[in-house]
Amino acid sequence: MEMGKFFLVVLSLALVLDLVQGFEFTEKDLESEDSLWSLYEKWRSHHTVSRDLEEKQKRFNVFKENVKHVHKVNKMDNPYKLKLNKFADMTNHEFRSSYAGSKVKHYRMLRGSRGGTGGFIHEKTGNLPPSIDWRKKGAVTGVKDQGKCGSCWAFSTIVGVEGVNQIKTKELISLSEQELIDCESDNQGCNGGLMENAYEFIKQNGGITTEGLYPYEATDGNCDASKMNSPVVMIDGHENVPVNDENALMKAVANQPVSVAIDAGGSNWQFYSEGVFNGDCGTELDHGVAVVGYGTTLDGTKYWLVKNSWGPEWGEEGYIRMQRGIDAEEGLCGIAMEASYPIKLSSDNPKRAYPKDEL
């Protein structure tokens, strides 16, 4: 490798590492209004956030309160830590509206009873492994970013389909969330929806196409029928995990990545950085994510490994570990209330209309 290219690679890796590690601050940064302003300017530069002067002053006031919250929580004896991430000058209301806006509970009330086949094929799964991580088995694509679009339901669904397809075919293909947003009429695109509606759409449509062919736009668009009619991965349907049963959820996750809904609107979710999250949250299901594993820390804390869709700079490189096996039957943040997964009975997929390298 040429020396110039080598240094570019090293610099790129350093920038990525810096982004993932997040933005650090000290007690000295909190001493005065001036030091806090300097901290805000550093944060804006770090995250390349542009604000006009009037907006900057408003955002600075929000930023100050968020800094105080992160600092206060991090001084507590929690098994998790917070950081000043890209959401640091957003109010919690703004954050919830933009990033935890799937309104799963609302759509469940409108739809009524859950769909699916009515079965649970993983019911008799025994001898569960003490831990599993579907990333290590090649069944999980890189962390994606939904942007300011309440499309988390689509990302959650796609994790499930990408996962089961890789398990059946040994081929990991990044699939299209935008197709679901534009073409799946039972959900509301950037205004939220249910994962089970999306699974049903993929089954009825004869599959779903790739992210490369139908790329993500983070906005509602018109359905591109030519792309929708070029499916690459098919499923045979979906099933629901028995409600409020973390043991059943564990059986499902032992076999494949699983879509779940959670209450992710709290400030500690907004600024989560690392560790096993056990913070306050309710069951107002507002965000779709995917459980791609589970495990136990060295001190014996059980956790779910959850893939989010807020980019790799949030949390543990885009993931959060959530405490597993708490007293509440619905699980932490309602994680066991609305779990589902796709069924794929064979390794068959639609014949590709495009060469692999064009997808």
| Cβ burial 44-59 (10 Å sphere, 16+ → b, else e) | bebbeeeeeeeebeeb
In this predicted structure, what is the pLDDT of residue 16? 40
**Between 167 and 57, residue with greater pLDDT:** 167
355 pLDDT higher than 90: no
Comparing C-alpha atoms, which of 156, 243, 154 is closest to residue 191?
154
State mean pLDDT over 97-124: 75
Q: Taken in order 224, 227, 230, 233, is the CA torsion positive or negative?
A: negative
Give a yes or no: residue 175 inside a domain.
yes
CA distance 203 to 215: 20
6 pLDDT higher than 70: no
State mean pLDDT over 227-243: 95
Number of C-beta neighbours around residue 185 at 10 A? 10
In this predicted structure, what is the pLDDT of residue 7? 40
In this predicted structure, what is the pLDDT of residue 30? 80
Model confidence at 115, in pLDDT bands (50, 70, 90)? Answer: low
Share of the chain above pLDDT 90, in %: 73
Residues 6 or more apart whose Cβ sits within 8 Å of residue 3: none
Q: Give catalytic residue positions.
A: 152, 287, 308
Give a yes or no: residue 331 inside a domain.
yes
Q: Which of the listed residues 56, 82, 108 is the one where a domain comes to its end? A: 82
CA distance 119 to 123: 9
Q: What is the pLDDT of residues 194-222, one digit of tens each?
A: 999 999 999 999 999 999 999 999 999 99
Q: What is the pLDDT of residues 180-196, one digit of tens each?
A: 999 999 999 999 999 99
Tell me, yes or no, whether 188 and 67 share the same domain: no
Tell me, yes or no, whether 326 and 252 share the same domain: yes
Tell me, yes or no, whether 183 and 331 share the same domain: yes
Share of the chain above pLDDT 70, in %: 87
162 pLDDT higher than 70: yes
3-state helix, strand, coil in the chain (%, to 5): 35, 15, 50
Q: What is the pLDDT of residues 279-330, one digit of tens each?
A: 989 999 999 999 999 999 999 999 999 999 999 999 999 999 999 999 889 9
11 pLDDT higher than 60: no
Q: Which of 49-53, 163-167, 333-337 has the lowest mean pLDDT?
A: 49-53
**Between 37 and 255, residue with greater pLDDT:** 255
Give a yes or no: residue 354 inside a domain.
no
Give a yes or no: residue 335 inside a domain.
yes
Q: Which residue type does 150 have?
A: G
70 pLDDT higher than 90: yes
Give a yes or no: residue 5 inside a domain.
no
Tell me, yes or no, whether 165 and 125 share the same domain: yes
35 pLDDT higher than 70: yes
**Between 39 and 102, residue with greater pLDDT:** 39
In this predicted structure, what is the pLDDT of residue 20? 43
Tell me, yes or no, whether 259 and 149 share the same domain: yes
CATH number, domain of 167, equals 3.90.70.10
Give a yes or no: residue 323 inside a domain.
yes
Give a yes or no: residue 351 inside a domain.
no
Tell me, yes or no, whether 241 and 150 share the same domain: yes
In this predicted structure, what is the pLDDT of residue 53? 76
Task: Tell me the pLDDT of the chain averaged across its residues.
Answer: 89
Tell me, yes or no, whether 59 and 158 share the same domain: no
Cβ proximity of 156 and 195 under 8 Å: yes
Domain assignment of residue 58, given as a range: 16-82
Give a yes or no: residue 253 inside a domain.
yes
Tell me, yes or no, whether 198 and 290 share the same domain: yes
CA distance 169 to 349: 9
State mean pLDDT over 20-28: 68
State mean pLDDT over 42-60: 84
In this predicted structure, what is the pLDDT of residue 26? 80
DSSP code string of 113-138: S--S-S--TTTT--S--S-EETTTTT
Tell me, yes or no, whether 256 and 288 share the same domain: yes
Tell me, yes or no, whether 61 and 174 share the same domain: no
Q: What is the pLDDT of residues 243-287, one digit of tens each?
A: 999 999 999 999 999 999 999 989 999 999 999 999 989 999 999
In this predicted structure, what is the pLDDT of residue 327? 86
CA distance 317 to 348: 33
Tell me, yes or no, whether 23 and 70 share the same domain: yes
In this predicted structure, what is the pLDDT of residue 100? 83
User: How many domains is the chain partitioned into structurally?
Assistant: 2
Tell me, yes or no, whether 101 and 72 share the same domain: no
In this predicted structure, what is the pLDDT of residue 29? 73
Residues 6 or more apart whose Cβ sits within 8 Å of residue 287: 99, 100, 102, 104, 152, 261, 262, 263, 264, 265
